[in-house]
Amino acid sequence: MDNEYIRFENVRKEFPGVVALSDISFSVRKGEVHALLGENGAGKSTLLNILHGVFPATSGTVYIDGKPTKYNSTYEAITQGVIKVHQEVQVVENLTVGQNIALGFEMVKGGFLDYKDVYEKCDGILEELGCSFRSKDPVTGLGVGDLQMIAIAKSLYFNANIISFDEPTSALSVPEIEKLFEIIRNLKAKGITILFISHKLDELFRICDRVTIFRDGMCITTKEMSETSNEDLIHLMVGRDVSSYAVRTQPSCADYSEVVLEAKNLSGMTFDDISFKLYKGEILGFSGLVGARRTEVMRAIFGADPLNGGELYLHGSKVNIDSTETALVYGIGLISEDRKREGFIPTMSNNRNVNIPGMGKFKKGMLGLVDEKEMLDNFNNYAELVKLNIRNPEHFTVNLSGGNQQKVIVAKWLSTKADILIFDEPTKGVDVGAKAEIYKLMEDFVAEGKSIIMVSSELPEVIGMSDRIIVMREGRINGLIDKKEDFTEVKILSYAMQEKES
Amino acid sequence: MVSRFIKKNSRSFTTLVALLLIVLVFSILSPRYFQYDNLIDIVNQGVVNGFLAIGITVAIITGGIDLSVGSTMAVVIVGCAELSAHQVPVVIVVVLGILMGVLIGIINGFLITRMNLQPFIATLGTNQIFRGVAYVISNGEPVLNIQGQFRKTFQFQIARGIRMNMIFLLVLAVIFAVILSRRRAGVYIYAIGANENAARMSGINVERYKMFAYIMCSVGAAMAGMVTLARLGTGEPTAGEGFETMAIAAAAIGGTSLAGGKGKILGTVLGAFTISALKIGLIVIRLDTFYQFIAIGLIIILATYLDTLQAIIVRKIAKRKKSQ
């Protein structure tokens, strides 16, 4: 291949129980902007992490400029000019721009840090990038776009040969994106090779030369951007056997004559104009890419975050849910996507974790002590219902497998008698067997005339489980798919990735 | 039932062993140590710290801290002294004293839950403020003319050396322990300390229960204040200065984790008596009081190191089991 610069050869990465990358082989030309495209979890970031020395590949080789290359740390990669600009740039507040650029690689003269040369060199780079700030300015108060410029300046400071951008535009405004693209074009003109991850297809067409498509940890193909189209790319990204899991085993029991929950023009810090209806007995899917702000909407409905505007109606009457406690009283539960941080109390047993929200019910005597016997009975009932493998009520939830932890959390919310449950990524980090059981619990729940909102980034799950699908993009609802025959990955992805045509 | 109690309070038994060891060592060193009057004196000396420590334990379990307990004591001391000097009946003085504690707890709780200040900073600030309030109330001078009846209420001996204030500590400790282990509020306080996010996402009103914890904390300090007032007989606005450190020490020796989510009232009470047993022991063997500081410091470090050591041993055993 002509002027090939980076070559991945049979790169494979295994994590305990998961194959994240299998036999990735493709190459990147010198001085091109090369896009990596794929669904969440397709393996793009894993590959970049291997390239940048975050962790080693299980097998396979990365060649840079014809030589097999393996960095033992990101530090080593940076000194070799292989640098990554992260999605959210981390800086040390209180230090100056120049100090941040040189952080970890400060120059030393006579035992003291020498910033004079650093500042001089940085100012030259900042000038070249067209930045309005200089190296002696504090980073405090700089915007996201400016921080990204600092990261790019850092890569130039180390004479980068390869720069990777992981979703660089997700937090930028339109003019900032324009400026970034201008800079990327300049970097390219200097002969720097650029890897570019983005979910925004229009950006890829504007800035990239070629694209490599990933699916389920495999590399599907590499294409010239000039020889492909939106539809083509989306088809290449999906195209998987959907029927293999996440299917409804019972007929839909949605009753479209009864609205249970209605959101009218909800807005918050990161989302705007969210309106939808949830019907009795329905599983309403919320699809979208990571960063579409679905979780934020759900947290606001659940009272965990404040709403800036809009109205929420429960069974036709307006409600104001200002705390999670209020949500609990109104019969709304949320099963968080971040189990470890938000799902359970690590120092408590399964019994306690299941009974925590509903504890008010189990009081006895004049002193209002908790009734341990009733709680144990309650635990046993729900542990049986969710088929918890380890039934020991004294067992600590933190020591269970992901699937069993999720069952404990589902049992917790079922026991509160909530009639609306919000499942945020219900099967994230859950093994296949437990997945099927959680799907069944969801079906049983709606069969009782209760309703579910399911946020999921797994397309087969959304397609298989939902009665209707709402697709969000960048904090707004970008599409509603209410006919089963329209439930296709292509359709959902095009709503998730493309600007709404209006 | 008994075995379950031991299992749930295993860390407190470690503290009990430490306490008994200290008693044993000093009993060997000095024949005057293991005598009824001396042992009662250990309890007596531990009462004020005990009240402060059981309160601060509750605040620490939520993942917070209350550095203002010493000044809270002082406010209650001069407040109750003024009331008593103005012939207010004892029962009303005591009730108002506890209410002062409740009010102070609400102030600390408000700063922490509504204004989102870090507990350390918030109570560092209120510690200064409450001290100032105590000076303002008393005009900087000890309040005199406390009713004998007030002093008698706390100092009354029901048996040789056993005073009412010990009974009060027992009662409040039992109340706190029951709230923490057998009532919903207690379970929620532990939950908040162990994982505040998860607690909130379980529908717990985190702000309300944190507020409740700080009220419990200040009520403990208020009781410590009234006991001190009854002992001294005058309302000293300088009382309780720096007492928060010994209260935290008692909690730590008793097994309370400063990271939150862990701790027992029983352990804390034993921790307070461990400190007083050590102090009195050093006096009995006529060691210079300067050494007290060193000894208490060592005990704090040793006791908490035991926890680390225990964790390491548990991990090693688990590893060995796995590799077999």
Instruction: Calculate the average pLDDT of chain A.
Output: 88
Is A502's pLDDT higher than 60? no
What is the model's pLDDT at position A409?
95
**Rounded (10°) CA dihedral B315, B317, B319, B320:** 160
What is the model's pLDDT at position B318?
67
- Tokens for A447, please give them: 């069969």
Residues of A with CB below 8 A from B201's CB?
Answer: 302, 304, 324, 334, 336, 342-343
What is the model's pLDDT at position B111?
98
Q: Is A92 part of the contact surface with chain B (CB cutoff 8 Å)?
A: no
Q: How many residues does chain A have?
A: 502
* Residue contact B184–A334, C-beta within 8 A: no
A342 → closest Cβ in B187, B191, B197:
B197
**A480 to A190, A224, A450, A471: CA distances (angstroms):** 45, 33, 21, 6
What is the model's pLDDT at position B317?
74
What is the model's pLDDT at position B1?
61
CA atoms within 13 A on the CB side of A411: 31
Q: Are strands A283-287 and A468-473 parallel, antiparallel or unpaired?
A: parallel
Give the 3-state secondary structure of residue A135.
coil
What is the model's pLDDT at position A244?
46
Cβ contacts of B31 within 8 Å, gap of 6 or more:
none
Q: Residue A444 is inside which H or E element, if any?
A: helix A432-447
What strands, in cross-sheet order, belong to the sheet with A59-64? A18-29, A4-15, A59-64, A67-68
Q: Residue A256 is inside which H or E element, if any?
A: strand A255-267
Name the residue of chain A whose CA is nearest to B198's CA: A342
Which backbone phi and psi does A367 adopt, to 5 degrees?
-85, -5
**pLDDT tens-digit profile of A369-406?**
899 999 999 999 999 999 887 778 888 898 887 888 99
In contact, A25 and A10? CB cutoff 8 Å:
yes
What is the model's pLDDT at position A217?
85
Is A46's pLDDT higher than 80? yes
Q: What's the gap in Å between the CA of A500 and the closest CA on chain B? A: 33
Q: Are strands A255-267 and A309-314 parallel, antiparallel or unpaired?
A: antiparallel
Residues of A with CB below 8 A from B183's CB?
Answer: 367-370
Of the pLDDT bands very low, low, confident and very high (cuts 50, 70, 90), residue A241 is very low
The shares of helix, strand and coil residues in chain B, as percent rounded to the nearest 5, are 75, 0, 20
Which residues of chain B have a pLDDT value below 50?
none
Q: Is B295 part of the contact surface with chain A (CB cutoff 8 Å)?
A: no
Q: What is the mean pLDDT of residues A266-294?
A: 93
Q: How far apart are CA A203 and CA B53, in angstroms?
A: 61
Q: How far apart are CA A361 and CA A111, in angstroms?
A: 67
* Residue contact B195–A345, C-beta within 8 A: yes
Residues of A with CB below 8 A from B8's CB?
Answer: none
* Residue contact A343–B201, C-beta within 8 A: yes
In contact, B198 and A345? CB cutoff 8 Å:
yes
In contact, A162 and A52? CB cutoff 8 Å:
no
Q: What's the gap in Å between the CA of A377 and the closest CA on chain B? A: 17
Q: How far apart are CA B155 and CA B164, in angstroms?
A: 6
- Tokens for A285, please give them: 């899917």
Of the pLDDT bands very low, low, confident and very high (cuts 50, 70, 90), residue A500 is low
Name the residue of chain A whose CA is nearest to B177's CA: A369
What is the model's pLDDT at position A240?
52
**pLDDT tens-digit profile of A431-452?**
666 788 899 999 999 999 999 9
* Residue contact B198–A416, C-beta within 8 A: no
What is the model's pLDDT at position A242?
40
Q: What's the gap in Å between the CA of B204 and the closest CA on chain A? A: 6
Q: How far apart are CA A63 and CA A53, in angstroms?
A: 13
Q: How many residues does chain B have?
A: 324
Sign of the dihedral through C-alpha A284, A287, A291, A292: negative
Mutate to test the interface with A, among B116, B179, B195, B201 (most CBs of A within 10 A): B201
Q: How far apart are CA A155 and CA B151, in angstroms?
A: 74
**Rounded (10°) CA dihedral A4, A10, A14, A18:** 100
Residues of A with CB below 8 A from B191's CB?
Answer: 345, 348, 352, 356
**A1 to A7, A26, A146, B215: CA distances (angstroms):** 10, 11, 37, 74
A345 → closest Cβ in B178, B182, B194:
B194
Mutate to test the interface with B, among A342, A345, A406 (most CBs of B within 10 A): A345
Cβ contacts of A158 within 8 Å, gap of 6 or more:
A78, A79, A81, A83, A105
* Residue contact B194–A347, C-beta within 8 A: yes
Q: Is A412 part of the contact surface with chain B (CB cutoff 8 Å)?
A: yes
Cβ contacts of A425 within 8 Å, gap of 6 or more:
A337, A455, A456, A457, A458
Q: Residue A253: how many CB atoms within 10 A of its CB?
A: 17
* Residue contact A363–B184, C-beta within 8 A: yes
**A154 to A89, A98, A162, A275, A358: CA distances (angstroms):** 11, 9, 13, 43, 52
**pLDDT tens-digit profile of A129-188?**
888 888 888 888 787 778 888 888 888 888 899 999 988 887 777 778 888 899 999 999
Q: Are strands A255-267 and A476-481 parallel, antiparallel or unpaired?
A: unpaired
Q: Which amino acid is at B314?
A: V
A336 → closest Cβ in B201, B203, B262:
B201
Closest C-alpha among A478, A430, A428 to residue A286: A478
* Residue contact B191–A360, C-beta within 8 A: no
A324 → closest Cβ in B191, B201, B261:
B201
Q: How far apart are CA A151 and CA A131, in angstroms?
A: 12
- Tokens for A221, please give them: 């193909």
**pLDDT tens-digit profile of A300-337?**
999 999 999 999 999 999 999 999 999 999 999 999 98
Residue environment code for B22-38, b if the CB has 16+ CB neighbours within 10 A, otherwise e: bbeebbeebeebeeeeb
